[in-house]
Amino acid sequence: MRVAAVQLEPVIGDVAANLESCERLAAAAAQQDADWIVLPEFFTTGMAFRDELAGAALAPDGAATALMRELASRHGATVGGSFLCRDPDGEVRNAFLLFDGDGTLLGRHDKDLPTMWENAFYVGGSDDGLLEAGHLAVGVALCWELMRAPTARRLRGRVDLVVGGSCWWSLPPWPPASVTRRWEAANARTAALVTERFARLVGAPVVHAAHMGSVSCPLPGTPLRYRGEYQGGAVVADGHGRVLARRTREEGPGLAVAEIEPGSVPPLDAIPDRFWLHDRGPVPAALWHHQRAQGRLWYRRHTRGKAPLEVERTPLEHRDGPVAEEAGRPDS
């Protein structure tokens, strides 16, 4: 089957603009005969420590869900992606929804642990990330879930395909620059290789959508400001970890499109007997704990209990003119 992983350049916190961009990119994927279209993590908002994200979560049946359902029905494709979802209990979760080609919801996965400053905007989930799409068993893994051995253990040998996406940011060039440049090079290598390595651990193809572009925001709990880049890297890998399509950060927004053979194969690599599959590096490891504590407090004060954001959208079928615009050609 033919799959497309979307690479988005988000406008942080501007839900309407990001939905519009996803619509165009999905239309471009459909023009390339994609049977599956995977949007990145936080495709409605991007992710940064910005106040506006506290009020940017959508209802489970809000504009993000409506868009994915419409895209699936219009293009006859299976469509999935994750967004900040404010549930009826008032909590926000990072919810990945998957729709089949007639617009039927196939299932939902909530990311298990927020990463660093993400703790300011949602709480973790506890499901196993296993969905059914017709005859296919589908696993869902979002960003640093691909970094954790428990994710590989719950999906290993049980899925025909893994879908998901990331919003992975770079390390800033703090002094001493020679040291932080080396740390960022290692961080970028991990982000670039995590998809193919996860495929080898699980024994199934992986379709990984991504964000690219610049990021600027306060650094939680400090007087510092973060300035960096989303790592990008929309990737399609087969069950043996061979990369079939990749779109790098430097190539901008667009698609990674490839033909895959879904199905479980014998995993090539053993799952390490530890929590983290990869070395995070000293700065991310420290920030994981510091921003987790800061973010949870900020979430309770600023994010939890708000009303869902309402976004006005004109349904696709009611728009004038072509939906698709030129979105760049993917490597495939």
Q: How do beta strands 36-38 and 78-86 pair?
A: parallel
Instruction: Please indicate, yes or no, if residue 92 is contained in any of the structural domains.
Output: yes
CATH label of the domain that carries residue 308:
3.60.110.10
Instruction: Please indicate, yes or no, if residue 36 is contained in any of the structural domains.
Output: yes
Instruction: Please indicate, yes or no, if residue 323 is contained in any of the structural domains.
Output: no
> Residue 116 carries which side chain, given as an amino acid letter?
M
Instruction: Please indicate, yes or no, if residue 324 is contained in any of the structural domains.
Output: no
Count the domains in the chain.
Answer: 1
Instruction: Please indicate, yes or no, if residue 9 is contained in any of the structural domains.
Output: yes
Range of the domain at 103: 2-318
On whether the CB atoms of residues 202 and 150 are closer than 8 A, the answer is no
Instruction: Please indicate, yes or no, if residue 86 is contained in any of the structural domains.
Output: yes
Instruction: Please indicate, yes or no, if residue 31 is contained in any of the structural domains.
Output: yes
| pLDDT tens, per residue, the chain with 332 residues | 999 999 999 999 999 999 999 999 999 999 999 999 999 999 999 999 999 999 999 999 999 999 999 999 999 999 999 999 999 999 999 999 999 999 999 999 999 999 999 999 999 999 999 999 999 999 999 999 999 999 999 999 999 999 999 999 999 888 898 999 999 999 999 999 999 999 999 999 999 999 999 999 999 988 999 999 999 999 999 999 999 999 999 999 999 999 999 999 999 999 999 999 998 888 888 889 999 999 999 999 999 999 999 998 776 666 655 544 444 444 43
Buried (b) or exposed (e) across 200-231, using 16+ Cβ within 10 A? Answer: bbbbbbbbbbbbbbebebebbbeeeebebbbb
Helix/strand/coil for 260: coil
Instruction: Please indicate, yes or no, if residue 332 is contained in any of the structural domains.
Output: no
